[in-house]
Amino acid sequence: KKSFRGPFRACHDVINPRDFYRNCLYDVCMSGGARQVLCQVLETYAATCRRNGATVHDWRTPAGC
């Protein structure tokens, strides 16, 4: 959402998070909640955002990655 103030806030207008969110939800659920899977998905989203010129703030600390 545009009102979202988290570490990916600048990215949401550049890269739609919907597909990343859906894939993350599925992958994390299918892995029994594995933090490693969550971290991999978030890293992929962060890298995609940066490649497209968006600033990504520290997401690792809040996500526990």
Domain count, the chain: 1
For residues 12-23, average pLDDT: 88
pLDDT at 20 (0 to 100): 87
Residue 2 confidence (pLDDT) above 60 = no
For residue 3, the model assigns a pLDDT of 53
Its pTM stands at 0.84
pLDDT digits (tens, 9 = 90+) for 30-65: 899 888 999 999 999 999 999 999 999 999 998 889
Q: Which residue has the tokens 């978030």?
A: 42
Domain holding 8, by residue range, is 1-64
Query: E strands of the chain, at which residues?
Result: none
How far apart CA 27 and CA 34 sit, in angstroms, is 9
The single residue listed with the structure tokens 């703030």 is 57
3-state SS track over 5-26 = CCCCCCCCCCCCCHHHHHHHHH
Give the CA angle between residues 2, 37, 54 to the nearest 5°: 35
> Is the model more confident about 6 or about 2?
6
